[in-house]
Amino acid sequence: MSSINKDIRKTSHNNFTVIVNRFGVFFMILVLAVIGMLVSPNFLKASNLLNILNAVSYLGIVAAGISFVIYCGQYGDLSAPMTMATTGVICVEFMRYGLWYGIIAAMITGVVIGLLNGFVIGKLRVNAIIWTLAMNFILEGLVRWSYKGTQIYPDMATEKTYTTGFFLPLMAKLDPHIMELDLVSRAAEFNALATTYPGGVPLVLYVMFGVMIVGYIIMSKSTFGNQLKVVGSSFDVGKMSGINATRTVMFAFMMSSLFASVAGIFMTSLNQVGAFYIGQGYDFQAVTAIILGGMSLAGGRGSMIGVFGGVFTLGLISNILTLMGVGTFTQKMITGAIFITVVAVNARSLRKLGRDYA
Amino acid sequence: MGESAFALQMNEVSKQFPGTLAVNKVSFEVRPGEVHALMGENGAGKSTLMKILAGSYADYTGEILIDGKPVQLHNPHQAKSEGVGMVYQELSIAYNRSVEENMFAGNIPTKGIFVDQEALRKQALASLAKVKLEDKIDPGTEMKNISQHESQLIEMAKVLNDNPKILVMDEPTSALSSTEVQMLFDIIREIKKQGVAIVYISHHLPEIFEVADRVTVLRDGKKIDTCDIKDVDNKTLVEMMIGEKIDDFVRSGDSETGDVILKVENLTHYGFVHNISFQLNHGEILGIVGLAGSGRTELGRCLSGADKVDYGTVILDDEAITVKSMSQMLEKGIAYLSENRKTEGLALRLSNKNNILSSIISRLSRFFFFLPKKGTPILQDQYEKLTIYPHDPEITTSNLSGGNQQKVLLAKWLSTKPKVLILDEPTRGVDVGAKKLIHETIVKLAEEGLSVILLSSDLPELVALSDRVAVMRQGHLIGELKKEDGFDENKVLLAANGERGVFSVEY
Amino acid sequence: MPDPSENWGVTMLKLNRELDKEKVLGTLNHNRIYVFLVIVVILMSIGAPGFMRSSNITPMLKTSLLPILVGIGFSYVMIGGNFDLSVGAMINVGALMVMGEFNRFYAIFGGEPAGAGAVVGAWIIAFLIALAAGSFFGLINGLLVAKGKVHSFIVTIGMLTTLSGFVYTYSKGNTISANSYLLVDIIEKPLLRVPYLEFFTMRSIITILVLVFFELLLVKTSWGRGLFMVGSNKEAAWQAGIDMERKLIWTFVISGFTAALGGILFATSMNAAVPNYGERGINPLMLVLASTIIGGTVMTGGSGSVVKTAVAVITIQAIFNGLIGMGLGFDTQVLAAGVLLGSVVLYEAYVLYKQSLRKGERPAMLPEAEELRHKHRA
């Protein structure tokens, strides 16, 4: 048939786009690395590289989670910041029973938030941006209201804690002995989470890599991940392939909130305080990293490796600009401009190839 | 102006698609005040020809004359300004806007800088009068509160506002009840009197005889003939449409069918299909015919668990099943190939491999992990059986031709190893070669014991493949035609139109 | 088995009756925000003592002015079927730039010794620059969305990041105050010292005029009707020959313009601008998003009204205000706003979900479906 030639031509284009899509971000990293070396001789030092990674480790954890949502074709999870804050607060509340109680309670909270998001979006088909934004506000309201706008410190004096907390007054009523718990050492244990350096590397960096590896396996190798790919590419096709599409969407949002809760725990530990503002801005940054990493906003395309690339790119940009003496706010501006440019160029090139846009 | 005897002349118009010549040097003329039916089977080139008229293609060849004047129809606005009005099958309606706004979207009357609401209302009413809706519809109503039938008439009124010389209607009756069809025909006759040339695309024979003056038949992209409707009858028209086809597939031998595998009792989805009962045997191909909107697709969707089942039982292999979900029905062995390949069938942005395996991801998994390697033999098997081209499962599905995409879709469902396979329009929009191969595959599978429910509007296909044809009409199964009593396209078409005399069994 | 189409007349009668009911409910839903406002006002007058006092109503309405302005552009963008998440940053751009540019030009014109002429000239130039900046950033948003075909969510998130960096860089992280108090005295001075009418200041009148202008543009002109078509069904709009891209670009320009104007008026009314407005307190994005949706703008575009958005802003402010009057704190406000937004989104989504389940239903079969339902239940 005469369509043979056409097919071959299209296929080769296709592979090219795939390569650009998958590895474009690493090309960007390469360019940035060269610029970095030119800017400062300290750039390539192990300590600096570790700094870069450390600086983006929280972002990496959040982005790994949100990437599931974007892979699922749902634009993003804007409830991530408040999920971080809420789970951080929950962790502080429950850690008084023991560190693991706190961590597990926080993660369960994350899972619940994610499942709720996923249900509303996967079942009622609400626009994910609107719903997760609404969810973010609801959570913010809940946290602020529960704590009357105050912050909650892990080592807060017992008496005061058990009157201002939300669950704690309840727990104190049920179990009066709780007041006698050794809060100070518990708090020290909790606060140490973010400042432990096993083998000279921050614990949170191990966690980020752990989360990303787990995320990679789930996204690319697991049953769920492959169903997610189909549902992400087209919700209706997924549904008509005998995949429980609603459940799959719920799963994606659950992953997002679960990972956000992990980041929330560390972030709270780093700040040594549980408060509603923990995690602000992480949603937008994470989406930036994910899109830079080549994941398509249309869903079903991209991988965790790209997400890592995107996160690392943001770290590099920030590091290089710092080395150049550029202030934080100008950095933010430059990052935003780079993001818009990359997305626009990417959309243009994909469209030229007759493909969908970012 | 108007010197020509013809409102529309097409001279040797062709349109090439990659791999196929969809319209091959077609010439025909339409007189003013004439209803000119354009007939042909699916894939005969009707819709391409219509899109050429609509200005959808900039690269057709040949000459088009309107009122004797050569015109270029390279974009929709050109077509519109040359006096071509289109009423599509798929209406494009802004549902949360009012009737009047939908009708005059492009040129809302203004008084000074503001919209002249009164003039708009007046214009809308005048326009609605053309389709006899002025008393029935308040132009301020939102479109979402308007019935399908009225929406279509409104769409027609909208097109008539531009005073077209040629009005093209694509399957306008597909979603209408018989009363509504009569109302539509009255309006068409009215428009005709005003000297508008009407190109009427349909394959409902009785309608053609009722409304058309002349008919042009297309087959495989070529024009077969143009005749006065008086000079033809059902039989000649069908012959012209079907012809002596080289690829015409006739099932060899009388197929043996085994015991009952599927028994459906009173299957009901309120408002969609009511009280559907039938039986299906091992290795049987049961055709289900029905005009568009008869509930054919809805039945398929209910049976496969894609849509809700409100009432009724499905007994598969002596096991009574309460239909809950599609994954459940897949597990039990009922697979459904959707008619919407692009929106429900295949994720076009994924690879063929991903698409074919998408329905068996959980089956190919162990514990938590998806093991695509276990799918390799399945892929190979399907690729060989269906000769999917190019032979590379990693290629993105959107890069395949329509026929090969359809093969991929069929492979996707065959890989689930179903007991009952429901095929909804399995050969829509595919080329002749792929169609033949799909037909052969279906028959072979049936001989191997697979039971098939074939939902199709392609009558030759239905007649050639089916052991039995059940007829759906307005959400009900109203009867069936048995092969031993002999059925042909004509009979099936009559049955689908509610002619009860032809049934072997009436429900 | 009877042919259902034979009962056609009966069916139509039943349908008509149902349609009437639906029509009434539909109209009610269309105007729900007014009903909502009345209910809130009544509840709050009962629950919160002093709610209806002029000294309470006036500041409440004044707080609404900024979100009302921002809501105009936000609603336009949403009617076109997009989102503008960058409005919060646009407010800051307007606020900081009007202050910064005023100081710059005031100094150039000679400062205080140059008299009132320098003040007026500098303010005019500062207003124009700040408005132009907002419109310009909006234009970039619009171009990327309409011409670049990038999802508005991504574009405006990028713009948000860029602009929030920009405002900090512009202000060096500081609060900027204008070096003249002339304007703040004019713009915030009540025109009438009459209870309840104290609300009318230059600022509120400008806001109202802008609101009316954009409502008329939307509802009364063919341009606005065209925008509705674009948001409702792009295909239909295209067939009608409406220039879609240009309209969508305009919605983003309007959004940038009104958000910047909101920021400008807010800043001049306080004679100060901070780079982190919107990062503290109730997020203006939430307020505007909630108001737009509660005000009845359809989430997927194609329907809505800026006046209804404005009424929704006032309603939400009334709730906030009433909650304070009831002795509940700021935190309760945030919770109330969140829950309100969540419930409205859920309600809208649930209605659409129910509709989607009935999509493709054959009206002619409904009477029989009703019969069957009875039979099956028995």
Rounded CA gap, C191 and B125, in Å?
48
Closest Cβ opposite residue C236 in set B94, B270, B271? B94
Closest Cβ opposite residue C236 in set B102, B179, B311? B102
For B267, the 3-state DSSP assignment is strand
* 8 Å CB contact between A241 and A63: no
Residue C334 domain-assigned (yes or no)? yes
User: Is residue B90 predicted with pLDDT exceeding 90?
Assistant: no
| A148 to chain C: closest CA residue | C331
User: Is residue A139 predicted with pLDDT exceeding 50?
Assistant: yes
Highest mean pLDDT among B388-402, C93-107, C286-300: C93-107
Q: Which residues of B touch C239 (CB under 8 A)?
A: 76, 92
For B64-83, the pLDDT digits (tens) are: 999 888 988 888 788 888 88
Look up the domain containing C115 and give its range.
52-352
* 8 Å CB contact between C81 and A127: no
pLDDT, average across residues B212-216: 92
Q: Which residues contact A4 (CB under 8 A, 6 or more apart)?
A: none
Using only C-alpha atoms, chain B has a radius of gyration, in whole angstroms, of 24
Q: How far is CA C322 from CA A220, A313, C57, C63, in A?
A: 52, 48, 10, 14
Structure tokens at C330: 């700021």
Highest mean pLDDT among A110-124, A271-285, B10-24, B100-114: A110-124
User: Is residue C10 predicted with pLDDT exceeding 50?
Assistant: no
Work out the pLDDT band at A178, boundaries 50, 70, 90.
low
Domain made up of B246-333+419-428+450-507: CATH architecture: 3-Layer(aba) Sandwich (3.40)
How many domains in chain A? 1
pLDDT, average across residues C120-149: 94
Residue A357 domain-assigned (yes or no)? no
Q: Tell me whether residue C172 is exposed, middle or buried, using C-beta atoms within 10 angstroms of its C-beta: 0 to 12, 13 to 18, 19 or more.
A: exposed
Residue C33 domain-assigned (yes or no)? no
Look up the domain containing A306 and give its range.
25-350
Q: How far is CA B46 from CA A167, B43, B342, in A?
A: 70, 7, 21
Residue C3 domain-assigned (yes or no)? no
Task: Report the side by side order of strands in the sheet with B476-482.
Answer: B334-337, B420-424, B451-455, B285-289, B468-473, B476-482, B505-506
User: Is residue A355 predicted with pLDDT exceeding 50?
Assistant: no
Residue C159 belongs to a domain with what CATH number?
1.10.3470
Tell whether B401 is within 8 A of chain A (Cβ): yes
CA distance from start to end of chain A: 34
Domain boundaries, chain B: 8-242, 246-333+419-428+450-507
Q: Tell me whether residue A150 is exposed, middle or buried, using C-beta atoms within 10 angstroms of its C-beta: 0 to 12, 13 to 18, 19 or more.
A: middle
User: Is residue B410 predicted with pLDDT exceeding 60?
Assistant: yes
For C290-327, the pLDDT digits (tens) are: 899 889 888 888 888 999 999 999 999 999 888 888 88
Q: Which residues contact C377 (CB under 8 A, 6 or more apart)?
A: none
How many domains in chain C? 1
Rounded CA gap, B311 and B266, in Å?
7
For A258-285, the pLDDT digits (tens) are: 999 999 999 999 998 888 888 888 988 8
CB contact under 8 A, A10 and B399: yes
Q: Which residues of A touch C354 (CB under 8 A)?
A: none
CB contact under 8 A, C286 and A137: yes
Torsion of CA B264, B268, B274, B277, to 10 degrees: 10
Tell whether B18 is within 8 A of chain A (Cβ): yes
The pTM for the full model equals 0.86
CB contact under 8 A, C235 and B92: yes
Q: What is the pLDDT of residue A354?
A: 47
pLDDT more than 70, % of chain A: 84
b vs e for B434-461, b when ≥16 Cβ sit within 10 Å of the residue's Cβ? Answer: bbbbbbebbbebbeeebbbbbbbbbbbb
Helix (H) or strand (E) segment spanning residue B482: strand B476-482
Work out the pLDDT band at A104, boundaries 50, 70, 90.
very high
CB contact under 8 A, A343 and C293: no
Question: How many CA atoms lie within 13 Å of C175's alpha carbon, on the beta-carbon side?
Answer: 9
Q: What is the pLDDT of residue A168?
A: 62
CB contact under 8 A, B401 and A3: yes
Q: What is the pLDDT of residue C9?
A: 46
Min CA distance, C300 vs chain B (Å)?
Answer: 10
For A220-247, the pLDDT digits (tens) are: 999 999 999 999 999 999 999 999 999 9
CB contact under 8 A, B399 and A229: no
Work out the pLDDT band at C4, boundaries 50, 70, 90.
very low
Q: What is the mean pLDDT of chain A?
A: 84
3-class SS letters over A234-255: CHHHHHCCCCCHHHHHHHHHHH
Q: How far is CA A279 from CA A79, B248, B299, in A?
A: 10, 67, 50
For B478, the 3-state DSSP assignment is strand
Q: Which residues of B touch C363 (CB under 8 A)?
A: 147
Tell whether B430 is within 8 A of chain A (Cβ): no
For C172-213, the pLDDT digits (tens) are: 888 999 888 888 888 888 888 888 888 899 999 999 999 999
Instruction: Write out the E strands in B214-325.
Output: 214-219, 222-228, 260-269, 273-281, 285-289, 311-316, 319-321
Task: Using alpha carbons, select from B376, B387, B377 the residue that is nearest to residue B410.
Answer: B387
Q: What is the pLDDT of residue A160?
A: 55
Which amino acid, one-letter code, is at C119? Answer: V
Total number of residues shown for chain B: 507
pLDDT, average across residues A325-347: 85
Q: Report the residue of C235, C353, C362 to disrupt the B interface, i.e. the one with the largest count of B CBs within 10 Å.
A: C362
Work out the pLDDT band at B277, boundaries 50, 70, 90.
very high
Residue A17 domain-assigned (yes or no)? no
Residue A10 domain-assigned (yes or no)? no
Q: Which residues contact C21 (CB under 8 A, 6 or more apart)?
A: none
pLDDT, average across residues B380-401: 86
Rounded CA gap, A146 and A104, in Å?
20
**A10 against B222, higher pLDDT:** B222
Task: Using alpha carbons, select from B505, B420, B424 the residue that is nearest to residue B457.
Answer: B424
Rounded CA gap, B186 and B189, in Å?
5
CB contact under 8 A, A243 and B327: yes
pLDDT, average across residues B190-212: 85
Min CA distance, B111 vs chain C (Å)?
Answer: 9
Residue A174 belongs to a domain with what CATH number?
1.10.3470
* 8 Å CB contact between B235 and B57: no
For C283-298, the pLDDT digits (tens) are: 788 889 989 988 988 8
| C164 to chain A: closest CA residue | A333
Work out the pLDDT band at B411, boundaries 50, 70, 90.
very high
Phi, psi (degrees; rounded to nearest 5) at B61: -115, 165
Task: Using alpha carbons, select from B456, B34, B502, B507 the residue that is nearest to residue B226.
Answer: B34
Q: B390: cis peptide before it, omega within 30°?
A: yes
For A41-74, the pLDDT digits (tens) are: 888 888 899 999 999 999 999 999 999 999 999 9
**C132 against A330, higher pLDDT:** C132
Q: Which has the minimum average pLDDT: A306-310, B211-215, C333-337? A: C333-337
Q: Is-same-fold flag (B8-242; B246-333+419-428+450-507)?
A: yes
Phi, psi (degrees; rounded to nearest 5) at A286: -65, -45
Helix (H) or strand (E) segment spanning residue B66: strand B61-66
CB contact under 8 A, C157 and A297: no
* 8 Å CB contact between C79 and C152: no
pLDDT, average across residues B87-98: 81
Q: Which has the minimum average pLDDT: A113-117, A176-180, A339-343, C128-132? A: A176-180
ipTM, two decimals: 0.84
Q: Report the residue of B84, B99, B102, B108 to disrupt the C interface, i.e. the one with the largest count of C CBs within 10 Å.
A: B108
Rounded CA gap, B483 and B256, in Å?
12
User: Is residue B34 predicted with pLDDT exceeding 70?
Assistant: yes
Min CA distance, A177 vs chain C (Å)?
Answer: 31
For B424-479, the pLDDT digits (tens) are: 989 877 776 788 889 989 999 998 889 999 998 877 788 889 989 999 988 899 88
Q: Report the residue of A2, A3, A244, A353 to disrupt the B interface, i.e. the one with the largest count of B CBs within 10 Å.
A: A3
DSSP assignment of B168-227 equals EEESTTTT--HHHHHHHHHHHHHHHHTT-EEEEE---HHHHHHH-SEEEEEETTEEEEEE
Q: What is the pLDDT of residue B19?
A: 60
Question: How many CA atoms lie within 13 Å of B123's alpha carbon, on the beta-carbon side?
Answer: 21
> Chain A neighbours among B 62-81 (CB < 8 Å)?
none
Tell whether A335 is within 8 A of chain C (Cβ): yes
Q: How far is CA C105 from CA B113, C95, C127, C267, in A?
A: 38, 16, 11, 17
Residue range B8-242 forms a domain whose CATH class is alpha beta
Q: What is the pLDDT of residue B246?
A: 43
Tell whether C8 is within 8 A of chain A (Cβ): no
Residue C148: Cβ within 10 Å count: 21
Q: What is the pLDDT of residue A358?
A: 35
Residue B337 bridge partners (DSSP): B423
Q: What is the pLDDT of residue B23?
A: 87
Chain C neighbours (≥3 Cβ pairs under 8 A) are: A, B
Q: What is the pLDDT of residue A164?
A: 57
Rounded CA gap, B45 and B51, in Å?
10
User: Is residue B265 predicted with pLDDT exceeding 50?
Assistant: yes
**Can you tell me which residue has the tokens 């869903």?**
A299
Task: Using alpha carbons, select from B125, B50, B109, B126 the residue that is nearest to residue B85.
Answer: B50
Rounded CA gap, A207 and B90, in Å?
53
Q: What is the pLDDT of residue A110?
A: 97
Residue B168 bridge partners (DSSP): B86, B199
CB under 8 A, 24+ apart: contacts of B104-108: B104/B158, B104/B161, B105/C225, B105/C226, B105/C229, B105/C236, B105/C237, B105/C240, B105/C242, B106/C240, B106/C241, B106/C242, B107/C222, B108/C222, B108/C225, B108/C226
